[in-house]
Amino acid sequence: MTHKEKAEELLQQQYHCSQALFGAFAGDFGLDLKTAFKVSTCFGAGMRQGGTCGCITAALMILGMGIGFYDSQDREQERYGNKMTEEFIRRFTEKMNHRVYCRDILGKDITIPEEMAEIRQQGLILKNCPNVMQISIELLEEMLAAHLKEVSESKIALEDIPENNDMQSVLKRMSKHNRFNRNVHNLLFSSGKEIGFIQFDIRKFKIVNDIYGEKFGDEVLDFIIRQLREVCHEDQFFINLRSDVFMVVTEFERKEELISLIETLNERIRCFKDIKLQLSFGVYMVEDRNMELRQMEDRAAMARKSAKHNILTNILFYQEQLKDSLYNRKFIEENMQSAITDRQFQMYLQPKYSITQNQIIGAEALVRWVHPKRGMIYPDQFIPIIEENGFVTKVDYYIWEEACRFLRKCLDQGIEPCPVSVNVSRVHLRDHGECIQILSHLIEDYGIPKNLLELEITESADDQQISQKAMLLKAEGFTLLMDDFGSGYSSLNILLETPFDVIKLDKKFMENMMVSGKGRMILEQVVSMANKLDLGLLAEGVETREQIELLRNIGCDQVQGYYYAKPMPEEAFFTLLAADSETSSLDGD
């Protein structure tokens, strides 16, 4: 039965035109009619709403399936698909004399009950729609046949055609993808060995293009292809998926064979024209051969993306937990801007206390992400990601302004404000003065004394550029706190080079120093050193009475930690500060 005969038969059975047309081609794609009707019902609803003829929607779905589009990230294939779509719509519109809406084809509006009744009474669907479907089928058969002819010829001819034609270039790539998928499919179901998918890319390939030019970048990719041809034997299939992402599918018996192949590739590819290339490899060892190829590729891709962010190794094997990690990363990256726009990021404040006075002497501004569906997302889940992609600057600006707004609120309501410290990341300390301008503008806009907004810089931020920026911040009149003192190996060097006003003893440093007499002696000497250097000293992460007593005895009065209070929402801290101020006032009286 021809496509035309099948479509007319389904139309006679009173299926909508989108269902009839798509159903006529269902067998070509291995679909049963029930599945085809479900698909066309979901996507071919145009005519049932009185809009664009359902034949157009069904035809575009048939084109997509016939040509084999499956990867929304493949921009070349997407452009090719758009051209095919435009061609079909143009030719269909011409043949229909620009009658592409149901009301124009039927002469009546199916969204109006009275007119729909007339359509049924007069049998207008069976009178007018077969011609529309015939036009659609003729165009589809012609376009699909032309496409198959081009692809068939391209299997040989396109290998030697210069890629100066967009259509030819895409067809060449599609031909390679089709052959690769066919070879991998055959390997999966013919080999008695284990099968591994190895996917790799070049770390920071964009920088290579930016520095040396895209022509050089293309040379790098050609170089990798040559190396793959030399290394891979006839049953090891490889392909350049896109840009700098490559994949190799191979048989193996032991995991060590995969590692050996990867090490060989890494050794041969890692240097090109004296330029060192850092590669990241992700490996998926196939467990279920009936899984779709795309899912196998995705698992290798997940491992590869995780390897890109791993400082210990450039080879990672897929594990199920990688899926959760990468989904979480994708969620954060896709939602971080709306979190700023919708004010999902919230400032929490953790009080700083004086042991001897037993009152609040300051607070640290911290960020929490309260998502409308996920609820609380804690900093350890999103801070590393936004630090890596640079979005941390926007979050910092947001919290800086929230801190200034809070201080202004205290002043306006007659509550004596305490200094609030905000974190200044390494990204800010390496900018060209933007953070200084923003901090100064915030101070000016909210009209708050500069000494009320303190800046915390992490100890690990240690280089000359950062020290110079800290000097500029100090010259602007800001109070500087060294955060996490004792967490690394450069504390004393930074103290020597950077004009800090206060050092904050790291929680782990505190815990380690309290387990022995020698440790307590070191802690006591740190306090003595701070006093001699005229530096303020604050102990972080204080949780026990024992820690409080030790700090009191060695002369460290300022503390921050769960012993006194956990980080809390702004309103809760405002209430606590107001009560603390009132108590302090009464004690003064």
Calpha distance 241→8 (Å, rounded):
41
- Check residue 163 and give its pLDDT: 46
- How far is the CA of 580 from the CAs of 394, 448, 573, in angstroms? 33, 21, 10
pLDDT digits (tens, 9 = 90+) for 392-433: 899 999 999 999 999 999 999 999 889 999 998 877 777 767
- Check residue 35 and give its pLDDT: 75
Name the helix (H) or strand (E) containing 74. none
The CATH architecture one would assign to domain 166-318 is 2-Layer Sandwich (3.30)
User: What letters, b where the CB count within 10 A reaches 16 and e where it falls short, cover 368-405?
Assistant: bbebeeeeebeeeebbebbeeeebbbebbbbbbbbbbe
Where along the chain do its domains lie?
Answer: 3-154, 166-318, 329-588
User: Which of 78, 540, 571, 582 is flagged as catalytic?
Assistant: 540
- Check residue 169 and give its pLDDT: 53
Q: Mark the ranges of the chain whose per-residue pLDDT is less than 50.
A: 44-48, 73, 154-168, 170-171, 461-462, 489-490
User: Which pair of tokens denotes residue 440?
Assistant: 């100064």
- Check residue 75 and give its pLDDT: 55
Instruction: Identify the CATH assignment for 329-588 out of 3.20.20.450, 3.40.50.620, 3.30.470.10, 3.30.1490.190.
Output: 3.20.20.450
With tokens 């590869």, the residue in question is 304
- Check residue 386 and give its pLDDT: 87
With tokens 């004086």, the residue in question is 354
Residue among 408, 471, 400 at smallest CA distance from 438: 400
Give the three-class secondary structure for 112: coil
**Equal fold, 166-318 vs 329-588:** no
Classify the C-alpha dihedral 569-574-577-582 as positive or negative: negative
By the 8 A CB rule, do 132 and 55 touch?
Answer: yes
Residue among 328, 326, 406, 409 at smallest CA distance from 369: 328
User: What letters, b where the CB count within 10 A reaches 16 and e where it falls short, cover 524-550?
Assistant: bebbeebeeeeeebbbbbbeeeebbeb
By the 8 A CB rule, do 439 and 480 touch?
Answer: no
Q: State yes or no: is 87 an active-site residue.
A: no
**pTM, rounded to two decimals:** 0.55
pLDDT digits (tens, 9 = 90+) for 133-150: 899 999 988 888 887 666
With tokens 């809390």, the residue in question is 568
Calpha distance 450→163 (Å, rounded):
62
At CA 215, angle to CA 214 and CA 218, rounded to 5?
A: 85
By the 8 A CB rule, do 222 and 269 touch?
Answer: no
By the 8 A CB rule, do 559 and 551 touch?
Answer: yes
Per-residue DSSP letter, 36: H
By the 8 A CB rule, do 285 and 194 touch?
Answer: yes
- Check residue 30 and give its pLDDT: 65
Residues ≥6 apart with Cβ < 8 Å to 409: 574
Residues ≥6 apart with Cβ < 8 Å to 320: none
DSSP class per residue in 468-519? HHHHHHHHTT--EEEEEETSSS-HHHHHHHS--SEEEE-HHHHHHHTSSHHH
By the 8 A CB rule, do 101 and 53 touch?
Answer: yes
